[in-house]
Chains A and B, each alone.
Chain A
Amino acid sequence: MHMPLEDSLGLNLLAANQHQAAHNREHFDAWKLLCLNVMSSPGAGKTSLLERSLPLLAQDFAMAVLEGDMTTQLDAQRLEAVGVPVVPITTGRACHLDAAMVCGGLRLLRERLDPAGLDLLWVENVGNLVCPAEFEVGEHRKVALLSVTEGEDKPLKYPVMFREADCVLITKIDLLPYLPVEVERIEEHVLQVNPRCRVLRVSASSGAGLEAWHQWLRQQVALQRSSLAAPGPDPQRTADPALSALI
């Protein structure tokens, strides 16, 4: 038996997904919209936040939602009820959206409207603090939610998700008076892992903190528009050098 050959590949395991994600992003840029990937554990309040924010943002922005869900279309129905076009993406057994699924959602969206008329495209990911962090879908910004009921240690236990986020929303802060939780410790843990992200406290129930969150969104839309007007590297997405080397 002869010695085996060896091919040095240096191939990123997620190259196929990243290729599809780049393709999606090209479409987003051609349509001049900002795409946000919203991620959290199940029950952290992604849909509730969008239910509250979308009607308020609709005064300024044309929007649509790609709604990822493993088995039902319940979240999609909730968001349709606030008057925003929603395309449900039922993932079946998959615990996250990948770029190909989002591409399929975009095809369905284009049957309903012209995406070039949108300012913001929301991708509400499947509830999961692990997998969505690794599978980009072509988004310009990642938003991670963490509710105060989940505990102070979650950014340390699921660091990849919080490292990847451009904005971390600490949700359900209206419950703080009833919980032995120090919100400052949650913020400190997030910033240990990712000192560059924006951390905001919000409550979809009381409306606290929403104005700061919406202000951050407006800034991102403006930054995206200016980056498209002057092509070059996206200043908000400065990837880790170790990761960039793999792509």
Chain B
Amino acid sequence: MVKRFLSRAYIGIILLFLYAPILILIVLSFNASKSRAKWGGFTLHWYQQLFRNEDIMSALYTTLIIAFTSALIATILGTAAAIAINSMKKTPRLIMLGITNIPMLNADIVTGISLMLVFVAVNYTLGFTSVLLSHITFNIPYVILSVMPKLKQLNPHTFEAAQDLGASPLYAFYKVILPDIFPGVLSGFFLSFTMSLDDFVITYFTKGPEVNTLSTKIYTEVRKGIKPEIYALSTLMFLTVLLLLIFINRRNAGKNAPIRKL
């Protein structure tokens, strides 16, 4: 019993540590005072202001577009690559996986700098596209590493069986392989989307002066003080995800619930 209590207390403290800053940001989004240091009473003002602030809205738009597009392209490229890598012999497979690990294990600052140097070397103006290409680059590994385990679980003969029954390779892929690996593909997509949304360092080095994502916008405001609208926006984004996850969790829980005898 004591052990159980201690375990719960420990989890509680860690969760407090992880979620305290989030709570503070949510509170700040309702703070009437512009300074984050003092409480000026409850207000919904910043939520109204938020949608009129073109700077923030355009940064949000850029962030979402880049997150979605880069995750989508990375998912397609990464899934194809994972299937190919999985069917490779040991040595080429290990080489490919080694390369795949580089963007994951390398420091963001080095990845960001190196990508910037490439764009500059080919005289490509830094902007929206360079950020998008960079995000695809660091997202692909997450997709590959999400899809690979699902591919390993596949029965090696189902694909052949489908073809044996007359399916073309493409049809067999859509009907047999894809449904089985889909959970991995999906989690690869969402992982990519999250990583892209949360990225600052790589965007910072590859964005050029014209483009801003939410991250880079926030960074420019660190010294002069964050606009309270940003707190409102992040609160909205966080709550959206939270509700979505609760919804998914509930639905899954309902599915898995044991069937009671009537």
* Chains A and B belong together in one complex: no
Binding site for A on B (CB under 8 A): none
- Chain A contact residues, CB within 8 Å of chain B: none
